[in-house]
Amino acid sequence: MKRKGLTRRKLLASAAGIGSFAIIGRARAAAPYKPSDSLLDAARREGKFTLYTATFTEVEQEVINEFRKKFPFVRVEMIRAPGGQLIQRVKTEAAAGKLAADLVLHSDRGLMKALEPLFADYEPPNAQDYLPESLVSPKLWPNLTAGWCIAYHTELVKNPPKSWMDLTKPEYGDGQIAQVIAQSGGTTWTRIMFERQVLGEDYWAKQAATKPKLYPSGAPLSDSLVRGEVTIAPLVYNIIYPKERDGAPVKTFFPPEGVPIVPYGSGIPKTAQNPNAARLYLEWQLSEEGQAFGIKQHGNLTSLKVPPLLPAGFSKDTKVWVPKFAEFEALYGKWIEEWNKVYGYRQ
């Protein structure tokens, strides 16, 4: 069943709902990030940090490259893994007293919340500029707020879908559509929740009847879409928009029923060997300058109260959907198992 609409100020509220993209006040030019002299000096002395991230490699690398234009003296060693695998790595290393990460960026706030004791107390200089509802812990911050779109191959799809419900049409059957498996990570779990709670309890069965191809994550799926191996796919916008931006034969759109979104929960472990270099990177990402870069280059949303700009394809009337965090945690196991049965997926 559909949830009631949210007020604009409660876009990222803890209760799930459909709402318009939050423009609280008037969007303004992004303020440049200016770290404190003490942080800058400490990060310069460290000169590097190890980043664990669930963000797509090519997207995170673009962010790293932009960061190093401003702070070239900080080297970033990136280790990327899908959400569940990354959390397991953090747990295993932490249990052995060998957690190598200086910074963990993750899309599943529920999994990160469960590891809250591993993370240091932290608050960015512009903490008051963030919607408090976007935080699941004062230690974990939404450096990235991702949203879902539908993408299709422009040369192979002559009658493209226009909505989420169109992905249930028999004309798109026989493997034309592809999906990321439900347990891939927090962003995908958000989409799965949206489908059931907004599009209807029978949506999975209707969509599965088209016999979609299943992929472990959005990165290989987006590549397959560009190559024409599949022709239609729901994807996190920031993995497909850069390809569209750079001329790949794909087109994206935000479906009228709503855009499932989820803020990240990212933090600096207590055991970080290079906490200042990690903090510099996280603070830059959380700054208006860093958020504006992610919005413009990757089509991210933001959990800032006043967005510096809107991503391409968005308008102030675009509907978004945010999961209720208690349900995000409580429903996971049961609904993932049901999804796997409906789609015939076996681990």
pLDDT tens-digit map of 240-293? 998 999 999 999 999 999 999 889 999 999 999 999 999 999 999 999 999 999
**CATH top-level class for 34-144+264-286?**
alpha beta
Q: How confident is the model at residue 310 (pLDDT cuts 50, 70, 90)?
A: confident
Domain ranges of the chain: 34-144+264-286, 146-261+316-343
Q: Is the pLDDT of residue 5 over 80?
A: no
What is the predicted pLDDT for the residue at 288? 96
Nearest to 263 by CA among 212, 318, 303, 291: 303
CA distances from 319 to 29, 74, 89, 144, 316 (A): 24, 39, 35, 19, 8
Quote the CA–CA distance of 265 and 54 in Å, as a whole number: 11
Task: Name the H helices within 153-302.
Answer: 186-194, 203-208, 218-227, 237-245, 275-286, 288-298
What is the predicted pLDDT for the residue at 107? 87
Choice among 7-11, 72-76, 120-124 with the minimum mean pLDDT? 7-11
Q: DSSP state, 232?
A: E
Q: How confident is the model at residue 156 (pLDDT cuts 50, 70, 90)?
A: very high
Q: How confident is the model at residue 184 (pLDDT cuts 50, 70, 90)?
A: confident
Q: Is the pLDDT of residue 337 over 80?
A: yes
Quote the CA–CA distance of 76 and 18 in Å, as a whole number: 38
What is the predicted pLDDT for the residue at 27? 53
Q: Is the pLDDT of residue 200 over 60?
A: yes
Q: Is the pLDDT of residue 15 over 60?
A: no
Q: Give the up-direction half-sphere exposure of residue 268: CA atoms within 13 A in the CB hemisphere.
A: 18
What is the predicted pLDDT for the residue at 28? 59
Q: Which pTM does this prediction carry?
A: 0.80
Is the CB of residue 270 less than 8 Å from the CB of residue 120? yes
pLDDT digits 0-9 by tens, 47-90? 999 999 998 898 899 999 999 999 999 999 999 998 888 999 99
Q: DSSP state, 30?
A: P
Contacts of 97 (CB under 8 A, 6+ apart): none
Higher pLDDT, 214 or 185: 214
Choice among 14-23, 106-115, 158-167, 172-181 with the minimum mean pLDDT? 14-23
Q: Is the pLDDT of residue 3 over 90?
A: no
Structurally, what CATH architecture does the domain formed by 146-261+316-343 represent? Answer: 3-Layer(aba) Sandwich (3.40)
**Whole-number average pLDDT of the chain:** 89
Same fold, 34-144+264-286 and 146-261+316-343: yes
Burial of 121 (0-12, 13-18, 19+ CB in 10 A): exposed
What is the predicted pLDDT for the residue at 24? 35
What is the predicted pLDDT for the residue at 18? 52
Q: Is the pLDDT of residue 342 over 70?
A: yes
